[in-house]
Structure 1
Amino acid sequence: MKIAVASQNRKEITGHTGRCRKFWIYSIENDAIAGKEMLELPKEQSFHDSSPWEPSPLDDVQVLIAGGMGTGLARRLQQKNIQAVLTKETDPDQAVKDFLNGTLKTEPFEPHEHGHKHP
């Protein structure tokens, strides 16, 4: 299993996932973290700037943990069979450990406005 965590600053979980271009990718084996690497996307491959019908380097993850995302991105991930998880936890490692233990405190998805229209 692979879990992606949005982390634009490489230290904390990112709130605006659509514009995020840096993701920690955790390899999970036997319900434990087996590896962690940073995936950096070019701007045109961010969720905000890419087409939902184009392949993405994140297509092979099963879970994406973030601090926030719109319902459109949540639907896009669902169509790719990626579980979207929102949390107020800021530490990526702790969020993954808590997710694996079933103790991660999650937040509901809410529509958001950020000053522009989506295509």
Structure 2
Amino acid sequence: MKLAISSPNGRTISGHTGKCPGYLIYELEHCEVKSKTHCRLTSDQLLCNLPGSLSQHPEHPLSGIKLLITHEMGNDLHDKLNHDGIRVLITDMTDPGEAVSKVIKVLEA
């Protein structure tokens, strides 16, 4: 499972998801983190500038995610992601590792 966390600095979870220039991308396999990378989006790749849904852009760095974790998100973006089958988790946590650990616990249950 591929998940993304809005994080411009690669260390903390942020909000302003549509305009967020950086994301931590986690690959989970059998409830374990297999990889973690930080990607920077270009202006054209920002979710607020992306025409159509994410699924229409298979080359996008966030393509294929199943879950997006963030602090806040507008309704339009939330609807776009849900339309693509991407679940959104709004959290007040700041530590990405802690958020991923909680997701793994839910997946294991």
Determine if the TM-score, normalized by the shorter chain, exceeds 0.5: yes
Higher CA-based Rg: 1
Show the counterpart of 1:23: 23
Q: Which runs of 5+ in 1 are unaligned?
A: 103-119
- The DSSP-based 3-state class of the residue aligned with 1:49 is coil
Higher helix share: 2
The letter of the residue matching 1:88 is D
TM superposition shift of 1:13: 0.5
Say whether residues 1:59 and 2:63 are aligned partners: yes
Output the TM-score relative to the length of structure 1.
Answer: 0.80
Show the counterpart of 1:36: 36
Distance (Å, rounded) in 2 between the aligned partners of 1:13 and 1:77: 18
How many residue pairs align between the two structures? 103
Output the TM-score relative to the length of structure 2.
Answer: 0.87
Say whether residues 1:73 and 2:58 are aligned partners: no
Runs of 4+ in 1 over 2 A off after TM superposition: none
Show the counterpart of 2:91: 87
Say whether residues 1:46 and 2:50 are aligned partners: no
Identity of aligned residues (%): 31
